[in-house]
Structure formats: C-alpha cells, structure tokens
Amino acid sequence: MSKRVLPLSDQQVRTAKPRHKIYTLSDGGGLYLEVSPAGSKIWRMKFRQQDGRTNRLTFGPYPEITLAAARDKRLDARRLMLEGVDPAEHREEKKRKALEKASNTFEKVAREWHSNKVPTWSERTATNTLRRLELDIFPEIGRRPIHEITHAELIATLRKIEGRGAHEIAHRQKAICSSIFSYGIQIGLLERNIAVDMKDVLKTMRGSHFAAIDNDELPAFLDALRRNEARMLKPTQIALRLMMLIFVRTSELIETPWSEIDLEKGEWIIPWQRMKRGKLTVNPDTTDHHVCLSRQALDLLRELYAITGGGTYVFPNQRDPGKPLSNNAILKSLERMGYKGRMTGHGFRALVMSAIKERLGYRHEVIDRQLAHAPRDKLSCAYDRAKYLAERKMMMQAWADYLDSL
C-alpha cells in the first residue's frame, strides 16, 4: 500500500528554509517543491512515461508560481497523460512552435510571398514591389513576428507614407500588406488579416487618369518644346517628338533596341513579349505590334541612329549605355518645359486619342489599334490584321502632317 502524501499548505511553502543540501516538499500526485541551499524554491513534477521510465517537468520558481498555480499545471499534465500524450514532449513541441512563430517575421513571410508571386509577374512589377516593401514597410514592422503585428503598428506605418504626400503608394502598400497577411493565414502563422479591416484609415483617393493636356493646348506645348530643346540632350528631344508622332507607351519607346527597327524598309515591329498585354501571365496577347511610321518619325529615327546606332538601345541611358533611358528623363524634361503635373509620357496617348478623332475624323477602332489596345473579340482581332494596318499608316502620316501645320 502506497504511502499517503498530505498536501502542502501555503504556510509550509512560504516558510520552508534552506538546508546544507537540496531537499523536497511533496504535494502529492508527483508535484513537489525543491529547496536549494541558496534558498531558491522550484516547483517540479515527477511522472512516469509510457515506456516506464521516470521523467520530470519544471513548472517554475516560487513565489512567481504559487502553490495553486503549480497544482493547475500538475492537473494539465495529468490530463495530457490520460490522453496518452507525454507532457514533457508536449511542452517541447509548444516551445518549438513558439520559436518558429517568433522567427516568422513580417519581412521573412513577405519575401516568401514575393518569391511565390514572381513567376506570375513581369520583372518590373516584381522589382518594384520588393523595392517598395524594403523602403516603406520593412524598416517599420519587418522585424516583428507577423502574428504579433497590431492594427496600430500597421496604421502608423501606412500613415507615415501618406504623410509625405504619397497617397497612392500608401493605398498600394496597404493592398500588398493585405496579400502578405492573407498568405500568412494560408500557411498557418496567423488567424486574422488585420489589413482587411482598415477600410477608412487612409484618406480617400479620387480615381484619376494620367495628366494630359487637351487639343487646344497642343500649339502652346509644341512652342514650349521648341524653346526648351536647347536645354535637352538630342535623344531626349527626339524621344518627346516621337511620343507625339507614334504614341506608343513610354516603356515601349525608351526600352526599344535598334534590332526592332528596319530603317531601310521604314518598319518598326515590337515583339509581343514587350507589349503590355503580351506580359500577362494568363492568356497573353501574342500579336506583334506594328508601329506605323510617318516620314517625319522615320527622319527622326535616322537622325538618332547617327548618335546611338552603335549601341543596343535606341535611347540608351547616359550613365550606363547598357541600360535604356529612364522614364524620369521624360518627366524631368516636361517639368523644365513648365508642364509638371499637366503632362506625362502616357498623357500623349490620351491627347492623341481625342485629337485624331476630333481634328482628323478617324474612327475610334483605327486609333485604338494603333494604341495597341486589346480587341474585344477574336473576330475584331482578325479584322484588325486584315484592314486596319493600311488605315493606320494613312492616319499616322496625316497626324504627323497635322502637327507640322501647327
């Protein structure tokens, strides 16, 4: 018959004095208080594992862990044992998971999310997304375990971006953070996406188009360009004039290699892989884009070939000819002309769409195809190739002549 152990009292635990050797005070059920010669008191529990071997749990020091708290921990351990779970192994697993959670910082999870997304993005989107995170988000909450980040921390991070006037970037970063938190939920690191709840914490932005002048302002713009050309590098002058003459997207213009242009035939064909819709990961448009060149546009390209024709790019970067011209060069030139906030590289496309319809009377479908907008259906696409190319060539020459007349 096993010896009956009387439970300890609070007074016994409180008044237990140190001795020359370590000794214990048992509370029953495997729980005991270990008193060291230095006077420290530690709660421990002895239990038998399923293989018959004896093991111990440490619950912590007294008085931080009271007698009542130690008994609660004993009860939790005994419940686990009844379920066939080793309480020591259970504790180690909890520690491991806690350490794993703590190591999954926002930055670590965000980079993992980014790596998974890269195959579905264009190179530019992947680079810009990570760069913005590194600039705006990681310095603020990147080192924090993702499951510990609070609403207040994320709001403060986003409002810091908003505070410097970057309202659009703040809204974009909020959406990116929401995607990262959603990914964290999917891989089991947290249970709630705090960014989803933040519908009104940032200032509401009105939808807007790229800044663009209207038809009536075109003569004054051309005059400003003439007056400022002496302050620009020749390739930049030609880039601005070509944007008006052929109105491709800014990236499609400045990233053009000379290999796409045949000056003898007067042809410029942009491979579909470089076009906006060609970069789609789902159902990309695999149609090469014919840039119809007027006599004036061809003359500018021939003039430019004498300057940059020995390199890869039509518009090489001044500092590193192995790279294309920066979009910022276009924006800075427009700024020096006095058109900051009033005109952008993309704005030429909006200007031309309305000007050609209103002043030259060409059909919307012809202009739309020259802008490389997607046809609505396969039949329209086939008709584009069959007929619109000839009309577009006529339209582009008429547009160049109209600009000359101004």
* Sequence-separated (6 or more) residues with CB below 8 Å from residue 54: 46, 47, 48
- Are 28 and 35 within 8 A, CB to CB? no
Q: Is residue 210 predicted with pLDDT exceeding 70?
A: no
Among 83, 33, 37, which residue's Cα sits nearest to residue 62?
33
d(C-alpha 91, C-alpha 83), whole Å: 15
- Domain range list for the chain: 10-93, 106-186, 215-405
The widest CA-to-CA distance across the chain, in whole angstroms, is: 115
Q: Is residue 73 predicted with pLDDT exceeding 80?
A: yes
pLDDT attached to residue 282: 61
* Residue recorded with tokens 């997207």: 249
* Sequence-separated (6 or more) residues with CB below 8 Å from residue 46: 30, 32, 54, 55, 56
pLDDT attached to residue 357: 78
Global pTM value: 0.49
pLDDT attached to residue 249: 82
pLDDT tens for 318-334 read 888 888 888 788 888 88
Q: Provide the CATH number for the domain formed by 215-405 in this structure.
A: 1.10.443.10
pLDDT attached to residue 375: 55
Q: Catalytic positions, please?
A: 249, 276, 346, 349, 373, 383
Q: Is residue 68 predicted with pLDDT exceeding 50?
A: yes
**386: confidence class by pLDDT, cuts 50, 70, 90:** very low
pLDDT attached to residue 281: 62
**269: confidence class by pLDDT, cuts 50, 70, 90:** confident
pLDDT attached to residue 156: 92
pLDDT attached to residue 273: 82
Q: Is residue 33 predicted with pLDDT exceeding 90?
A: yes
pLDDT attached to residue 102: 61
CATH class of the domain defined by 106-186: mainly alpha
CATH class of the domain defined by 10-93: alpha beta
pLDDT attached to residue 155: 92
Could you give phi then psi for residue 363, rounded to 5 degrees?
A: -70, 150
pLDDT attached to residue 207: 45
